[in-house]
Amino acid sequence: MQKYICAFDSGTTSNRCILFDEKGEIASVAQKEFRQYYPKPGWVEQDANEIWATQLSVAVEAMQKINITANQIAGIGITNQRETTIVWDRETGEPVYHAIVWQCRRTAEYTDYLDSQHLTGWFKEKTGLIVDPYFSATKLKWILDSVPGVKERAKRGELLFGTVETWLIWKLTRGRVHVTDYSNASRTMMFNIHTLQWDQEILDMFDIPSCMLPKVVNCSEIYGVTDKSFLGAEISIGGAAGDQQSALFGQTCFEKGDVKNTYGTGGFLLMNTGDKPVESKNGLLTTIAWGLDGKVTYALEGSIFIAGAAIQWLRDEMHLIDSAEDSEYMAKKVKDTGGCFVVPAFTGLGAPYWDPYARGTIVGITRGTNKYHIIRATLESMDYQVNDVLQAMQADAECKIHELKVDGGASKNDLLLQMQSDILNIPVIRPKCVETTAMGAAYLAGLAVGFFKNKEQIASLWEADHIFTPVITEEQRAKKIAGWQKAVSYSYSWAREN
């Protein structure tokens, strides 16, 4: 009987289920979007029950598509949108409030206050993170403080907290298992990445009762089995990891110094830093890549706010292209950008510049500049931003990065990746299967249930589709990077009041 490993990929806008066979190849996919709620400017919420219902329904659909039964599924691995915060009643399973999504800025004033109290260093030392509404802790505090009666119920031990993987595992096991994995725990701003415990001092500061927190477990181990009523049989749940860490695992970045970048709406670079956390001096986050067999592997993470989103801007606001794919052949109509640079600092600049007041800029326009130059320069802006973060990573980790593995929607663009290799001066490698996020979860679960033997076997399944190597000279590269840096400097502080 043919067996499969199942990945639940619970993303920010949709849930997917992918079934992989023993060769690590995709056998079936189902996907369904769920609703986003924007109750106020800057606020983002989702209905946790809808996340669960859509995730379960795509699992059923993926199985039906290839006509298999639950007995043919060796195990389930979960990867998820990180930091999104859910609180629910441990008896009824009813959420006390909508899920507060990672993008939600409702606690910005409070984190500004924490900053003003000079607590940034204190949090960074413990959690590896900067103080920001992005992470779960202040979202959880907001629910406890703002939803009537919730603080008291939590203190009485009636409520549970979880990020999305915790919620899905709890639902799948009908409330029998309340766990989170190391990678997701490390994004909550409550987890001490050195002691590998929930940090009691942080919990005290936020008045968060520890009885509502999940047990922290490895990213690959059998947490429990699904209740028979859901998929027709009990299935082992054997893996969990946050989406970016899962992609790092899916790219088989198992060795210290291995790096991947995901080109989605934003960009996410992660570097495996081995068994020691590396503190960043360049605005990167220190986080946990995964915990395997009780041993934790750390990562450095740098995010780019606007990556593929700049291509959406070309399409939806500028109407220069009809589809994201068109950006490639349109950009190829010119041999270079003609000295033009687009800095897509639409929402400020992240690492290593950290200027929330920076705004988008186009510089170097001449009488001969046309839309193809602008399109090409927008594509190139993704490459320069990746280079900026990668240089910061090299400086922090004090090592040289030898190659970059890539995935995400925009990684289909050959020109983008060729220019990436040119700017970085290292090979850029795109795998055959770019569903690396789901693959990571499938690998983690597969290791736990014996579907895959070990990491070496997994590494042998990973195949390159295309390796892009640098073709420009050192002089050309230096000139391009200097031009970009000058362009970035023109975008600084634009939105500052005075």
Residues engaged in binding ligand ADP (CB under 6 A): 264-265, 308-309, 311-312, 324-325, 327-328, 408-410, 412-413, 416
Identify whether the C-beta of residue 80 lies closer than 8 Å to the C-beta of residue 46: no
Question: Cα(406)–Cα(412) distance, rounded to whole angstroms?
Answer: 10
Measured from the CB of residue 16, what is the shortest distance to ligand ADP in angstroms? 11
Q: Which is nearer to ligand ADP, 16 or 139 (CB)?
A: 16
Q: Which is nearer to ligand ADP, 48 or 416 (CB)?
A: 416
Question: Cα(183)–Cα(260) distance, rounded to whole angstroms?
Answer: 16
Question: Cα(74)–Cα(57) distance, rounded to whole angstroms?
Answer: 19
Q: Which is nearer to ligand ADP, 416 or 426 (CB)?
A: 416
Select from 431, 469, 456 the least CA-distant residue to 251: 431
Question: Cα(136)–Cα(152) distance, rounded to whole angstroms?
Answer: 20
Select from 96, 81, 92, 87 the least CA-distant residue to 36: 81
Q: Which residues pair with 192 in a beta bridge?
A: 197
Measured from the CB of residue 257, what is the shortest distance to ligand ADP in angstroms? 25
Sole residue written with tokens 């695992």: 249
Question: Cα(136)–Cα(179) distance, rounded to whole angstroms?
Answer: 16
Select from 475, 409, 128, 375 the least CA-distant residue to 247: 409
Q: Give the CB-nearest residue to ligand ADP.
A: 409
